[in-house]
Structure 1
Amino acid sequence: MSGVMRAYAGFLAEKLERYIELRRSLGYTFYKQAGTLRAFVRYVQSSELDGPVTRDMVLNFVLSFSGPANGRAIRHGVLRRFCGYL
């Protein structure tokens, strides 16, 4: 993995942890959502993707979930809100 891709995954992970802290400070338990977001960072890292986050990155991650359609919709919503934060 190139240094740029590792750097982007690190940047994303740092922003993600700040976002989780923010949501929890607002009173949300945010455990399942945090797991989804951390899985997205691992996906970006393992797929060797570089930023910024794109629609295709999010959709490919969401569609890789083999659970029910509602689960994919929930994942998409979690990522959409995180991207709004970014």
Structure 2
Amino acid sequence: MAHHHKSNKTVEGNPDTGHGGGLPRRPDEDELEERTEVDREEVGLDPEAEPSSEAQYSGEESEVDREVAEGELAPDKGVHRKDREDFPPSSYT
């Protein structure tokens, strides 16, 4: 189970009124950044380095190419929309 990152008081709310504070309107950016760095360290990545958008796109593009080559994903280039399958393929049977 994942570590609960909030204190009991934060989660349970005010003990005098019995009401919780609810979800914050906006996440705490500093806390999110800190947790992201910890997560990156845990999986062995450089916590300070952020991949460029070109590198992310290239990685996604190569993954799609790999899935097409292995038959996990059917290429639909040049196939009219009405001739395509109704639903995406699923590994569940």
Question: TM-score interval w.r.t. the shorter chain?
Answer: under 0.3
TM-score when normalising by structure 2: 0.24
Q: Please tell me whether Structure 1 or Structure 2 has the larger radius of gyration of its CA atoms.
A: 2
TM-score when normalising by structure 1: 0.26
Q: Which has the higher contact order (CA 8 A, sep 6+)?
A: 1
Higher helix content, 1 or 2:
1
